[in-house]
Amino acid sequence: MSEQRARRRIIVRGEVQGVFFRDSTQDRAQAEDVSGWVRNRSDGAVEVVAEGAPDAVERMVDFCREGPGRAQVQDVEVSEEEPEGLSGFEVR
């Protein structure tokens, strides 16, 4: 299963809340056919879980490194996780 699906937890820090980061991430995930979720954290970061085809998940990681136009990404922490078979992508 992990050969066909990948999962990454992505923590994005910087000016990333209040700049449509979550909505933009959801739009990109749906375009890439990636499942998971995105949420604002209390420490000011945005947390993303992306699961799907390895190439698509890596494109999601790349997107998070840049963010939407108004975001100012300063740091991105990416960790690999075991896929759980998620479906759909939600803003939490």
Q: Is 5 a catalytic residue?
A: no
pLDDT number for residue 2: 44
CB 65 within 8 A of CB 10: no
pLDDT number for residue 3: 59
Residues of the chain with pLDDT under 50: 1-2
Q: Is 8 a catalytic residue?
A: no
Candidates 5, 7, 8, 22; catalytic one: 22
Strands (E), 1-92: 6-15, 35-40, 46-52, 72-81, 89-91
- Name the CATH code of domain 6-82 (choices 3.30.565.10, 3.40.50.300, 3.10.580.10, 3.30.70.100): 3.30.70.100
